[in-house]
Amino acid sequence: MRNTEHHDQALRQLGNDLVSGALGLRAFRGEVTALLRERFRCDQVVLWCIGGGAEERSLRCVAERHGERVELDAVHTVATREIDGYLEHLLRAGVYAAPATALLNESADMQALRLHPSGARNMLHAGASYNGRFLGVVCCERRDLRGVWTPSEQVDLRRITARIALYVGTLAERNPELLETES
């Protein structure tokens, strides 16, 4: 396992910079995807933000990183009604892990694949919530078909995602329209 203290310190600095205004939300998202990729040895990291009205909620992709390449203007959206089984599991458990060998065996796995616009094989997701409000999903993926996500990696992603949600939620309390206007 990689040194998580380094990643924790880096995330704290990014979060403090975001909340203080020294770092914009777009830049924060780009840096967080790089941090997650390094920490979890991922091939792909995707960040999703919840949006829409009460009648038609959807997840909107706000950052997608493949290797060193990051896309902060992704246009992918997924209606929550299309992934309700997956979201139910994610919100109940807080984390969603689907090794490559299990993919396509259950409808929730099929739905989770929709959150990886470039495809996925070995997924680890965590739900981001702040003050009881669901903000979105952090998705990690490995192309390695042999590896499984360890329980400690699952706990670590939940913990890191909670920190990300804390920083973004704090920023949104100060400037509620920011999440809607800045992609």
Tell me the per-residue pLDDT of 45-70, one tens digit each, with 9 for 90 and over.
999 999 877 678 999 999 999 888 89
Q: What does the DSSP 8-state code read for residue 145?
A: S
CA-based nearest residue to 114, from 141, 149, 91? 141
Residue 1: pLDDT above 50? no
- Of 55-64, 130-139, 143-152, minimum mean pLDDT range: 143-152
The position carrying tokens 């038609």 is: 56
* Confidence band for 101, pLDDT divided at 50, 70 and 90: low
Task: Show the domains of the chain with their CATH numbers.
Answer: 22-119+126-144 (3.30.450)
* Confidence band for 177, pLDDT divided at 50, 70 and 90: confident
Type of residue found at 27: A
> 147: buried, middle or exposed (CB in 10 Å: 19+, 13-18, 0-12)?
middle
pLDDT of amino acid 22: 96
* Confidence band for 148, pLDDT divided at 50, 70 and 90: confident
Of the chain, the percentage scoring pLDDT greater than 70 comes to 89
Residue 160: pLDDT above 90? yes
Most confidently modeled of 41-45, 84-88, 144-148, 163-167? 163-167
* Confidence band for 2, pLDDT divided at 50, 70 and 90: low
- Of 27-36, 63-72, 130-139, minimum mean pLDDT range: 63-72
Q: What is the pTM of this model?
A: 0.89
When the pLDDT of each residue in the chain is averaged and rounded to a whole number, the result is: 87
